[in-house]
A and B are shown apart, each in its own frame.
Chain A
Amino acid sequence: MTGNRTEKVCVLGDFAVGKTSTVARFVHNEFSDKYLTTVGVKIDIKEVDLGAHGSIKLIMWDIAGTDALDGLQQAYLRGASAYLLIADGTRKETISNALNLHRDVQAIYGKLPFVALVNKSDLDSEWEVGEDETMRSREAGIEWLPCSAKSGENVENAIRSLAATLIGQ
């Protein structure tokens, strides 16, 4: 505790959508990835400086990939202030699975701030997410933001936006 705010942020998404690699470039890794496979969660730290608005420390709970929340993942989500929802643009089914996760979280923990990212925007030729998925998501209240773990596109912005939302609360 340094006097800055600290908030718990969970990272959710289907299998192999690139959750860990998306946040890995922008966080301070404290624990090995092996925790993700053994315990089902990995903790990373991200300090976001928002200038005049102060700074915030995000405790990022990178939860192992899933298309539905089981008991353990629900337990990991307990007490979270916000979450990052991540899908894979080259596998459109990950969009619908992310929508399911989003609904589950809201059903259990109420409306929490979140940011939705569609990863692998660098793979244009394999992109599968079309108008249908975008529309369905919009109906569910989700605006997907394309991003690339490879290039870093939009990842930092998304996390900063989430941090700003938390500080504004």
Chain B
Amino acid sequence: MRPESERLSAIERRLDSPERRSDEIAAVLPQALRRSHERGEFAPAIQKPLAKIMQVAIREEPEHFADALFPVIGPAIRKAVSEAFKTLAQQLNDAIEHSLTPRGLSWRFRAWRSGVPYSHYVMQQTRSFAVEQAFLIHASSGLLIAHAQSATQSGRDKDAISAMFSALQSFVQESFTHDNKGDLETAELGGLTVWAIHGPSSILACVIGGLPPRSLRGELRGILEGIEGAHGELLRGFPGERDVEAVVGPTLRQALDLRGGESVAPAKSATGTMKPIAIIAGLLLLGLLWLIGSTILDHMRERRLAEAFADVPGLIVSTLQSDDGKIVVHGFRDPLSAEPVQLIESAGADLSRVQLKLMPILSLDPEIVLLRTRSILRPPTGVSIELVDNIVQISGQADAAWIEQAQQTARSIPGLEQAIFDLRVNYADPPEAAAGSNDALDQLVAELDGTTVRFTEGTRFLAGDESRIDGLASRLSTFINAANAEGYEYRLRVDGYSDSQGPADLNARLRQQRASALASRLSNAISRGGDMLPSIAVAGSTDADARQAVLRVQLVRPAPQ
């Protein structure tokens, strides 16, 4: 019993002595922790208490943690800020670069269509890239840990590429840096970019086609951190017995899913709204086409109408414009000019769509003057009123009364200052009294009728002939007095002639002027003698080709007995 009681006493002393128990636990604690860690139990067990301890410690003694983190936090913040600025700079560059190009305008339209801000759309589009291969490389040895590539890719031995990349990394580091620090992060060749993300144990090197955005680095870094975080032990022990590629491969393949550009944009919402937008766009397009078409048609109608109204005698169009679906015509019109309705119909225009605002005028256009003359004089059969060289010519045979009336009326017709009269008295009903008339008067008529006065040029009389005019006027005055005394009616007329040289219109005018000149001269001479000369008709005549004027004297009918 004694030894047992002594052992029990010893155990009791051990248990009662905190120092001894501490020493014993300290002796086995490292091994216990190691075993617990190997069984995967230690970390989960310590996680919450440790987090709590850190919270309390940071709250109560923040300065200690600030001091401890100071060397780490500065570079980390600088790196994060630098990455953010690089990303922002690239996005700005992309936005500016694409702002006014045809592609940029196309993107602007698509952004509008899909309801996405333009800047977002540019960023989305400029992410036109695809990660084609991903190498997970052991940082120290350059050995390939795992590899993933898209189905379309094939190439050299990936182990050799991995090693060569690592060699190049060392080469650049040794050759171009002062302190052998820093990492090879980017290599570019043509349309291919190689980006390397460096972790503590491994390097994620990705071959990227297209234009990767800076933000892709963050996503790749996330993948590498995921691999390093989950499989850090495995990577540090590489190369080992386990097939590391099978473990990290699925995570690594996520890098291949990082792609951007036309194939993924615009977002789903855009495709969802595509149909109604297409319909609206189609309707808008139809409306636009209709507007353009109707504008062109209006313009063509206006032009056709303007052409129809152009050069119409007696019609002046000042403006012609479309207004509320109608074509409004402003201008001036002589009532004798062409009927506007007929002009509109001839132009193929719709009458109901043309509004006329025409002020009445008296046109001096020769063709209108002709119509006006016909309308007023109402020429009998045998008389024609035509335009000859833009001068109204009245010619033919009519009874003396009409001729006299016409000659008087013609003076008051607007625009008819220079009509040419070429009229013959109609003798269909000759004066019967002529046979039994007064011999003296007949003699005077025979003497006077057909008296010719010649001209040198223009309306200048030939000198010898001019001297005879006064005598002629005297004899004419005698005749008039005798006829009046005897109660005879008579007709006096002067016909003017010209030669055929020179322009026809000038000659026509000249004939009229010569007739007037002689008539006027005779009238003046008779007036000076105290007598009054009844009106003398004047007319141009083409019966003879000569520079002359001829006096015509006729006894019309016998005076009543």
Same assembly: yes
Give the B-binding residues of A (Cβ under 8 A).
1, 3, 5-8, 28, 30-31, 35, 39-41, 43-45, 57, 59, 61, 71-72, 75-76, 78-81
Number of A-B contacts (CB under 8 A): 74
Contact digits for B519-557, partner A, Cβ 8 Å, 1 yes 0 no: 000000000000000000000000000000000000000
Are B157 and A39 within 8 A (Cβ)?
no
Contact of B167 among A28, A43, A57, A81 (CB under 8 A): A43
Contact of B159 among A6, A41, A79 (CB under 8 A): A6
For A6, list chain B residues within 8 Å (CB): 143-144, 159, 239
CB distance from A33 to the nearest CB of B (A): 13
20 contacts between A and B (CB under 8 A): A1-B144, A1-B244, A3-B243, A6-B144, A6-B239, A7-B239, A8-B142, A8-B143, A30-B164, A31-B160, A44-B160, A57-B159, A59-B160, A59-B163, A61-B167, A71-B174, A75-B174, A75-B180, A79-B141, A81-B141
Contact of A1 among B141, B147, B161, B167 (CB under 8 A): B147
For B164, list chain A residues within 8 Å (CB): 30-31, 35, 43
Given known A-B contacts A59-B143, A79-B143, A8 and B170 have beta carbons under 8 A apart = no
CA distance A81 to B163 in the complex (A): 14
For A44, list chain B residues within 8 Å (CB): 160
- Chain B residues 153-188 with CB under 8 Å of chain A are 156-157, 159-161, 163-164, 167-168, 170-171, 173-175, 180
CA distance A110 to B288 in the complex (A): 83
For A30, list chain B residues within 8 Å (CB): 156-157, 160-161, 164
Give the A-binding residues of B (Cβ under 8 A).
138, 140-147, 156-157, 159-161, 163-164, 167-168, 170-171, 173-175, 180, 239, 243-245
CA distance A28 to B157 in the complex (A): 10
CB distance from B109 to the nearest CB of A (A): 48
CB distance from A159 to the nearest CB of B (A): 16
For B156, list chain A residues within 8 Å (CB): 30
Given known A-B contacts A1-B144, A39-B167, A71 and B180 have beta carbons under 8 A apart = yes
CA distance A139 to B161 in the complex (A): 39
Are B171 and A5 within 8 A (Cβ)?
no
Are B168 and A39 within 8 A (Cβ)?
yes
The chain B residue with its CB closest to the CB of A71 is B174
CA distance A8 to B137 in the complex (A): 12
For B141, list chain A residues within 8 Å (CB): 8, 78-81
CA distance A13 to B248 in the complex (A): 37
The chain B residue with its CB closest to the CB of A63 is B167
For A75, list chain B residues within 8 Å (CB): 170, 173-174, 180
For A39, list chain B residues within 8 Å (CB): 167-168, 171
- For the complex with contacts A8-B143, A30-B164, A57-B159, 12 further pairs of A-B residues with Cβ separation under 8 Å are A1-B146, A3-B243, A6-B239, A7-B239, A8-B141, A30-B156, A43-B163, A43-B167, A44-B160, A71-B180, A72-B170, A78-B140
Given known A-B contacts A8-B143, A71-B180, A78-B140, A43 and B171 have beta carbons under 8 A apart = no
Are B171 and A40 within 8 A (Cβ)?
yes
CA distance A8 to B139 in the complex (A): 12
CB distance from B174 to the nearest CB of A (A): 4
For A78, list chain B residues within 8 Å (CB): 140-141, 170
For A57, list chain B residues within 8 Å (CB): 159
For A72, list chain B residues within 8 Å (CB): 170-171, 174-175
Given known A-B contacts A3-B243, A39-B167, A72-B170, A59 and B146 have beta carbons under 8 A apart = no
Find the residue from B144, B167, B173, B243 having the highest chain A CB count within 10 A: B167
CA distance A81 to B140 in the complex (A): 11
For B163, list chain A residues within 8 Å (CB): 8, 43, 59, 61
For A76, list chain B residues within 8 Å (CB): 167, 170
For B171, list chain A residues within 8 Å (CB): 39-41, 72
The chain A residue with its CB closest to the CB of B167 is A41
For B146, list chain A residues within 8 Å (CB): 1
CA distance A103 to B146 in the complex (A): 33
CB distance from A14 to the nearest CB of B (A): 21
For B159, list chain A residues within 8 Å (CB): 6, 45, 57, 59
For A35, list chain B residues within 8 Å (CB): 164, 167
For A81, list chain B residues within 8 Å (CB): 141, 239
